[in-house]
Structure 1
Amino acid sequence: MLVEPAHQLLTKGTPMQTCRRHPEAGHFMATCPGCAQELYDIEQRNIAKTNALHTQARQALNLVGTTPDAEIISVHRDGEALIVATQQPGAFHTFAVDTFRLPTAEEIDPDQVDPLTAGAWLLIDSRGGYGSDELPGMVASAKDHLRTVPELNAQPEKQSTEMTINDLRHLASPVTAAAFPATKALAYSYLDVAEAAWSKHLAGCWKCRSIGELCAEGGRISQILDQVATCAVDWDELNDCLRGGDRELYLCG
């Protein structure tokens, strides 16, 4: 009776893959170590953000005399405002939603008669209820109230200048001289954007993460990522070809 080696038995019938983003990982069966590490890093960053928000919420609650036994149920940061939902057994309102804002630049100006402290949260709205089912409505009302606060709405909205994966959509197909990054540094900055978008998508897409079959959005991001990676890694060669007029040589090679 012929007995197959153990490693062949373990892999027999199991599709083997090679991670396109971590080729150094070689063949793997279920999980690429590089992708697993990225997911872990994302989870840790999310935990850190949540902890930071809860720290800010506790500081704000302390400033208005909320007792330490109040349990923070949820925290929502909206620009310079903070909405904190709490449960405090024994209080007149067992459930509460308090809204705070940071002082404006004018309010912390030392030339003011009574300047406020920079970074010290100011209570601007407070709502109370007797059941947890009232919390969603109170939070929604608190968010609506933010639109009526002059100190928050007088400030112009900051336009995000951060590059996203959509800014790189013109690189989803073989790059042309017009679309090719002007410098190698710019090419690698594009790669950082694409890798961040892929990691974010991978964290939230079970299909792409677990069964290795790309969804429509995953396929789009993957195409851009592959092309951007090529532009960064092979920048010198591509720069010579595309800017030297040998685009056909590049496409054929």
Structure 2
Amino acid sequence: MFASVDRRLLYGLLVPSSCIIIGSIIWYYSNQKKGQIRSNRSEYLVLEVRVPVYCVGSIIGKGGEVIKRFQQQFSVRCVFAKEDEKSLDENYRILIIRGQQHHVYEAEVEIRRMIADLPQYEQIEMFIPENACGYLIGRNGATIRDIRDTSKARLNMDKKIIDNVEKKNFSRLIISGTSEQIAAAKALVEERLHNFEQKQQERENRSDIKPSFISNVEIILDDENED
């Protein structure tokens, strides 16, 4: 009888104790998980990096290949803000990096290293006579496109301006790229303009010869009529 009572008493003590222990374990891991979630949320970071316009293509890569690989490597999300948003400087684009704080900082360091390793771009201006613009651009842009492809520089025609001295219309041609690319593009543009001037001179020479020839013919006819 006493053994039966002791057994019931033992069970009565063990069951609540087990429940308390199990409950404590569940509570501990539950709070630990909540704390981890709160910690993860506090470590989430959104960072903006200014990227020079000439570097954007290299960072994105063909078909987005480079930036996709970059995101996988650093476990972050990267996206460029729209051109009309964020940056007030037209020479820069804003790259937004999202992810865990330490991943974002690592990604930022790598982005800045990539920018530093890329060749520095420069920009020059050339003023093209209005009557030579069509010749320089070519049919459907074929000529200026060929200059771009050959030199690897960027060429953009700006709005027409007025030369205050000669009162002639000019278009501003903006050439940007590395110093080597700019030099190559400038040489090709100057060569094209030189060819245009030669053609113009040939036309003027032909136009001068034609009236002279006609006047000579008229003189001969007049002499014949007098005879």
After TM superposition, the score normalised by the length of structure 1 is 0.21
| Higher normalized contact order (CA 8 Å, seq sep 6+, divided by chain length) | 2
Which has the larger share of strand?
Answer: 2
Which has the larger share of helix?
Answer: 2
After TM superposition, the score normalised by the length of structure 2 is 0.22
